[in-house]
Amino acid sequence: MSREPLSLDGLGELRRSHAARDLTPDRVGTEVVLAGWVHRRRDHGGVIFVDLRDREELVQVVFRPDACPEAHSRAHELRSEYVILVRGTVQRRSPETVNTKLPTGEVEVEVEELRLLNRATPPPFELEAETDADEGTRLRYRLHDLRRAPLQRALRLRHRLYQAVRKALVDLDFLEIETPVLAKSTPEGARDFLVPSRIHPGSFYALPQSPQIMKQLLMIAGFDRYFQIARCFRDEDQRADRQLEFTQVDLEMAFVGVEDVLQVLEEVTCQGCAVAGVELPRPFPRLSHAEALARYGSDRPDTRIQLELVDLTEAFRESGFRAFRDVVDAGGIVKCLPIHDAQALGRSEVDRLEGFVRKELGARGLAWIRVGEEGEWQSPIVKFLSDAERAAVAERTQARPGSLLFFQADQAQRADAVLSRLRTDLGQRLGRVDGRAWDVLFVVDFPLFERDEAGALTYTHQPFVAPRDEDIELLESAPERVRGTHYDVVLNGVELGSGSLRNHRADVQRRIFELLGYSKQQSEARFGFLLNALDIGAPPHGGFAYGYDRWAMLLAGFDSLRDVIAFPKTQRGQDLLMDSPAPVEPEQLDELALRIARRGRQEDD
């Protein structure tokens, strides 16, 4: 039976009196006005039930033909996502109709008046907590996606985290100061986003990869304690835990050493985590960078996982087993991940892991030794090992019947990356975890420099990190031994943020630029303003930046940053809702004195 389309109502003088979440049994008998969306409509032989959804909760509203014929007859027309306002009375549901899954499930609202405020096209997928819509669809129809309860909850948590962090920092006497978004290129190591200047054709602003230099300038300008919840931009290829634009809680302090900053970080981290009911142990445990790599193969280990790596490089330094010995001769390492009681990992699983580390992690292979129930060693490599090597392996790994030992012989970084990945994957899969829900730590004592693939000296974090005072001399004699002042906060195996003391002495900063291979002219062209600023009386200073999206993601219990960002970009840097990036009018290019020389990837494929 087709009906005339309904006319729409205005809000009139009616206003929402309660939110759905307020409707608990103690409101029974209260007249309420609710506003929201039709989540679901059910027609039960005359009586029509609608789940009305507002920003936090659902509540059942009931249209009975006898109680209110007019509202009831209009309720037939309601469809998913129609926008309504209802006036009615809260009633207790009969015991057999109580919905225990809903916080408001003990009551319902008997409708006396309905206002239809707007219609809606049918939603592209059901707006339930669990959805099987693929991510592309969710991002294209982001507004529907955002109406789903988990995303509403995530963004509410994100909001509370802002407030908690802000309050913690303000209570610690930090000033909130904004820095420019149209800025100059800074060397965080990623590609810059450039913005062409119309007024200065051929010149470009860079969007900040972080406010790093600006916050240092603020210290020199005398502000002493600064923070900002800052948007940062890095034109990187996307990974699951990266976005082209992301948010940092950025802070900087003057007249401080490492300990002072760590105290602040502990306080702010605890207050932030408390918004999700997470209580962190204080003081935070600390791990040196060297120890983190040695035991876990990662500078952001999840220490809840009870598996640890064993370094066997020395045992193979003189080895007759060429595959290991050659790696050691070339400066590489031999490391092992022992897993005891590993009967659950059968031969086919080991083969699968080998395929995985070769294909996904660039490993050359995955050597292994299994210790059988009688203590016998089963392994393709065991015949190459001398008795002394076998004894060393057995002793260092504590191998026993049931143990499975995985080896990597490779350049240190790659060997560690492979074993650390196996450690987390297998540790979780086999339940080798200590049961703590949260694991926070400071990782400290990073080296100032490392060698890049070509063997040249490069910075471990960024070129402004100050060396430890007692190592400044080594900048001349043995720069690779210089220890930095860098520190990270790691939460559940994720780097929550990082920071350091900075070079406040221009001579030290200049020397570091030199060691990094910048010519005098290059340093002046890129960082002249910083070097000049250091010359005007820069106080010792240091700071930190939290990866805010990651923090919110961990606290909200999601695996993807996109779930805690209102309008995120896809892996390919697109906003599917607004359809950006997009071509612009030729006149706009003319104004900027730009010409497109070649079409982008998107149009080619």
Residue 459 has phi, psi (to 5 degrees) of -80, 145
Q: At closest approach, how far in Å is the CB of 288 from ligand ASP?
A: 19
Among 297, 493, 499, 568, binds ligand ASP (CB under 6 A): 499
Which residue stretch of 284-292, 451-459, 496-504, 533-541 sits at the interface with ligand ASP (rule: CB under 6 A)?
496-504
- Closest alpha carbon to 503 in 528, 530, 480: 530
Residue 179 in contact with ligand ASP, rule: CB under 6 A: no
Backbone phi, then psi, for 500, in 5-degree steps?
Answer: -170, 170
C-beta separation of 39 from 102 below 8 A: no
- Under rule CB under 6 A, residue 467 binds ligand ASP: no
Q: Which CB sits closer to ligand ASP, 485 or 574?
A: 485
188 binds ligand ASP (CB under 6 A): yes
Q: Is residue 404 left, alpha or beta, with left meaning phi > 0 and alpha meaning psi from -120 to 50?
A: beta
Q: Does 485 bind ligand ASP (CB under 6 A)?
A: no
Q: What is the residue whose two structure tokens read 């204080």? A: 282
Under rule CB under 6 A, residue 338 binds ligand ASP:
no
Among 133-141, 293-301, 497-505, 569-577, the segment contacting ligand ASP (CB under 6 A)? 497-505
Q: Which of 179, 212, 247, 503 binds ligand ASP (CB under 6 A)?
A: 212
Output the smallest distance, CB 261 to ligand ASP, in A. 10
Q: How many CB atoms lie within 10 A of CB 191?
A: 13
Q: Are 508 and 448 in contact (CB under 8 A)?
A: no
Residue 420 lies near ligand ASP (rule: CB under 6 A): no
| Contact stretch for ligand ASP (CB under 6 A) within 171-179, 430-438, 492-500, 514-522 | 492-500
User: Does 216 contact ligand ASP by CB under 6 A?
Assistant: no
Q: Does 247 bind ligand ASP (CB under 6 A)?
A: no
What are the CA-CA distances from residue 47 to residues 71, 86, 242, 375, 523 (Å)? 11, 16, 50, 73, 77
Query: Is residue 543 a contact point for ligand ASP (CB under 6 A)?
Result: yes
CB of residue 146 to ligand ASP, shortest distance in Å: 28
Q: Does 545 bind ligand ASP (CB under 6 A)?
A: yes
**Are 489 and 482 in contact, with CB atoms under 8 Å apart?**
no
Least distance to ligand ASP from the beta carbon of 59, Å? Answer: 44
- Nearest residue (CB) to ligand ASP, 32 versus 501: 501
Interface with ligand ASP (CB under 6 A), residue total: 9
Q: Which two tokens stand for residue 226?
A: 């600064």
Integer-rounded Cα Rg, in Å, for the chain is 30
Query: Which residue blocks in 27-128 are alpha helix, DSSP H?
Result: 69-75
Calpha distance 542→252 (Å, rounded): 6
Q: Is 500 in the site for ligand ASP (CB under 6 A)?
A: yes
For residue 377, the cross-strand partners are: 371
Is 296 near ligand ASP (CB under 6 A)? no
Our finding on whether 463 is near ligand ASP (CB under 6 A) is no
Stretch that binds ligand ASP, among 269-277, 343-351, 494-502, 550-558 (CB under 6 A): 494-502
219 contacts 539 by C-beta, under 8 angstroms: yes
State the first-to-last Cα distance of the chain, in angstroms, to the nearest integer. 48
Could you give the CA distance from residue 271 to residue 520 in angstroms, rounded to a whole number? 44
Cβ proximity to ligand ASP, 210 vs 269, nearer residue: 210
List residues binding ligand ASP (CB under 6 A).
188, 210, 212, 498-500, 543-545
